[in-house]
Amino acid sequence: MIYSVRHTTTFLYEPAVRESVMEVRLQPRSDGEQRCLSFSLQVEPAATVMQYQDFLENVVHHFDIAQNHTQLKVVAHSTVDVQPPPEASASDSGTWADLDALVEAGDYWEMLLPSHFVRSCDPLNSLAGELGCERRAAPFTLLAELNEAIHTKFAYVPNSTKVDSPIEEALIARQGVCQDFAHIFIALVRPLKVPCRYVSGYMFHRDEAKKDRSLEGASHAWVEALVPGQGWVAFDPTNNLVGGDRHIRVAIGRDYADVPPTRGVYKGEAQNGLSVSVSVTPAGSVASEPAVPFVIRSRPPVVRTPTIRLEHEQQQQQ
């Protein structure tokens, strides 16, 4: 399936800021069953956009707007070919011994250690005990069970957490968004020595009769876990999905901190607002902007000095 993706991010500043410096991770990856066929990035006010690859080979674009402005708009448009991955199943996956041998032979240590948003805590330990999160059955079987359990036990509630919320908030409330569910999944399986990574991207909503929990008009997040005999397998605890060709991968990382769609700073005393709209359509069909952009909740304003530099990010599916 070939998809057309349009991701529009608008930052509003009141009063005007003097300068913005930003990097974005919005270009879909080209690896595995996915190929990014085309990509364009439009920035207003106009800026010279440069790019590089980070340590996990995600494409990063960055720019500097060195003039007063009250709005910053970033429009990314991509065309992506996503082929169905091999169907994952317990019968084709290996044993825990096979996984240990695979890890021993490779370089997966970054996806095995705690990271900024993926750390042990008492609520996580309680959940692990409740779910019987230990080395049992086969690796794929356990991962699929945890994927379903998070989907069942946690309510999907938009705006229930913030971009920098620790996993304790979602664990205690038993609710959150895709970003939280991905972090919880990773935090459960890394202690079992299962390499697991965070994936940012988009999801195509195909069946209107059976709505997915994830929202249209927003970016999405899920995980990939290393399974012997199958490689990196996608698990989406938000929607209780395994693999498939509806997930469009943009960036991979240890957790969200490695792959925010936008990250930047600005100079000034402004309060800032942020709106995001995303459309994912089969290539060749007509895509239109959502009538109401997806609005990210921002924190209350605080007193600032004229020279302070403020970070602004957008949460995935918030």
pTM for the model stands at 0.89
Q: pLDDT at position 293, please?
A: 38
Q: pLDDT at position 315, please?
A: 57
How far is the C-alpha of 117 from the C-alpha of 313, rounded, in Å?
Answer: 15
Q: Where are the domains of the chain?
A: 2-81+260-313, 88-258
Class of the CATH-defined domain 2-81+260-313: mainly beta
Residue 315 sits at the vertex; the CA angle it makes with 217 and 83, to the nearest 5 degrees, is 55
- Architecture (CATH level 2) of domain 88-258: Roll (3.10)
For the record, the structure tokens of 129 come out as 């005990």
How far is the C-alpha of 131 from the C-alpha of 128, rounded, in Å?
Answer: 5
How far is the C-alpha of 163 from the C-alpha of 208, rounded, in Å?
Answer: 28
pLDDT in tens, 155-169: 999 999 999 999 999
The residue ranges of the chain whose pLDDT is under 70 are: 208-210, 285-318
Q: In Å, what is the CA distance from 95 to each residue of 8, 277, 316? A: 44, 43, 34
Q: pLDDT at position 244, please?
A: 82
- The helix (run of H) or strand (run of E) holding residue 75 is strand 69-82
Residue 144 sits at the vertex; the CA angle it makes with 143 and 145, to the nearest 5 degrees, is 90
